[in-house]
């Protein structure tokens, strides 16, 4: 299990959309999680040089009634964290690391990012997305760059179980496809930062044409979430150069694989039949 918990992960996912003063509070808590342990509201506000009302607003942004509730839940989270060695927590790769040591550090990074994703996912929202996809006439996955590769992977899996699916990774094609969507179609827009102008614009066009839109992103309250009917949050706030790309990719694939698994669970016999049909046609072409 990761040493980080739900509160700290949520702060990380909100960080980019916070005000300057709220970011100051967030950075202080993320860098020193036990900061609040012995401090009253007035003491911590003085220490961080912020107003008490600002700190209370920050607590409410995270879903707490006030400082006391936030402080208590954070203390419980920190107390129940699993202890990890300082060597494993330091996932930056050093020149002196052996290939096996680097592999172990990447393993820790991936373990952490999956746990963070589970912490951040709203499972009620996830179930609603699965229901929408089950009823969808057509499903499109939009994403540019690295997120486009994730979209292509998800297209392959969803198509294998008989869903009318396509992945669009060129912004002009995304806009054109979005303009042709109708009620009953579903678009999943993938953007780790949530700030991809192309993907957000395509989702806005899709929404205007009455398609259902889903955002898969790391950042709560980012631009892509404003044009999404449903929002799914994936992990990876770490940002280490060595682990960032693979961590982001794994977090996105984990959420999409979870959706795929829930779709299969809903109609296992149908999924098996469709997978067999798609497998048979590939095998037939190979034999010829």
| pLDDT tens, position by position, 144-158 | 999 999 999 999 999
Phi, psi of 237 (to 5 degrees): -95, -5
What was the pLDDT predicted at 2?
Answer: 38
Angle in degrees, 0-180, between the axes of helices 67-79 and 6-14, rounded to the nearest 10: 120
| CA–CA gap between residue 169 and residue 166 (Å, rounded) | 10
What was the pLDDT predicted at 238?
Answer: 55
DSSP character string of 57-87: HHHHHTT-SSHHHHHHHHHHHHHTPPP--HH
Sequence-distant (≥ 6) Cβ neighbours of residue 79 within 8 angstroms: none
Please report which confidence band the pLDDT of residue 85 belongs to, taking 50, 70 and 90 as the band edges.
Answer: very low
Closest CA to 219 of 3, 14, 2, 5: 14
pLDDT digits (tens, 9 = 90+) for 2-55: 345 789 889 988 888 889 999 999 999 988 888 888 889 999 999 999 999 999
- Segment 202-229 shows an average pLDDT of 96
Q: What secondary structure letter does DSSP report for 183?
A: T
Looking at 146-150, 219-223, 278-282, which range is the least confident one?
Answer: 278-282
Phi, psi of 228 (to 5 degrees): -115, 135
Residue 240 has pLDDT above 70, yes or no: no
* Mean pLDDT, the chain, integer: 88
| CA–CA gap between residue 229 and residue 187 (Å, rounded) | 10
- Segment 272-283 shows an average pLDDT of 85
- The tokens for 20 are 């300057």
Contact 119, 7 (CB under 8 A): no
Closest CA to 130 of 228, 236, 267, 269: 267
Contact 139, 130 (CB under 8 A): no
| CA–CA gap between residue 217 and residue 262 (Å, rounded) | 20
Residue 115 has pLDDT above 50, yes or no: yes
Residue 114 has pLDDT above 50, yes or no: yes
What's the distance, CA 277 to chain centroid? Answer: 32
Phi-psi region at 236: left, alpha or beta (left = phi > 0; alpha = psi -120 to 50): left
Q: Which domains does the chain have, with CATH numbers?
A: 1-83 (1.10.10.10), 120-281 (3.40.50.10490)
Strand partners, 8: none
């Amino acid at each position: 299990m990761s040493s980080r918990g739900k509160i700290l992960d949520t702060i990380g996912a909100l960080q980019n959309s916070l005000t300057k003063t709220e970011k100051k509070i967030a950075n202080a808590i993320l860098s020193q999680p036990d900061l609040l342990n012995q401090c009253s509201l007035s003491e911590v506000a003085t220490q961080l040089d912020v107003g008490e009302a600002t700190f209370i607003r920050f607590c409410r942004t995270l879903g707490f009634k006030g400082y006391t509730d936030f402080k208590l839940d954070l203390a419980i989270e920190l107390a129940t964290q699993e202890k990890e060695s300082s060597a494993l927590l330091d996932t930056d790769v050093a020149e002196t690391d052996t290939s096996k040591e680097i592999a172990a550090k990447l393993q820790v990074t991936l373990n952490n990012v999956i746990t963070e994703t589970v912490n951040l996912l709203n499972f009620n929202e996830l179930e609603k997305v699965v229901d929408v996809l089950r009823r969808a006439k057509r499903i499109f996955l939009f994403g540019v760059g690295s997120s486009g590769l994730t979209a292509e992977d998800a297209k392959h899996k969803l198509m294998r179980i008989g869903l009318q699916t396509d992945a669009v990774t060129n912004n002009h094609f995304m806009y054109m496809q979005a303009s042709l969507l109708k009620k009953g179609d579903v678009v999943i827009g993938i953007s780790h930062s949530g700030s991809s102008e192309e993907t957000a614009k395509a989702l806005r066009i899709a929404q205007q044409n009455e398609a259902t839109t889903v955002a898969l992103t790391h950042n709560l309250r980012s631009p892509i979430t404003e044009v999404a009917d449903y929002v799914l949050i994936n992990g990876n706030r770490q940002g280490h150069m060595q682990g960032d790309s693979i961590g982001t990719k794994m977090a996105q694939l984990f959420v999409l694989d979870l959706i795929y698994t829930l779709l299969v669970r809903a109609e296992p016999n149908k999924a098996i039949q469709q997978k067999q049909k798609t497998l048979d046609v590939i095998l037939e072409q190979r034999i010829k």
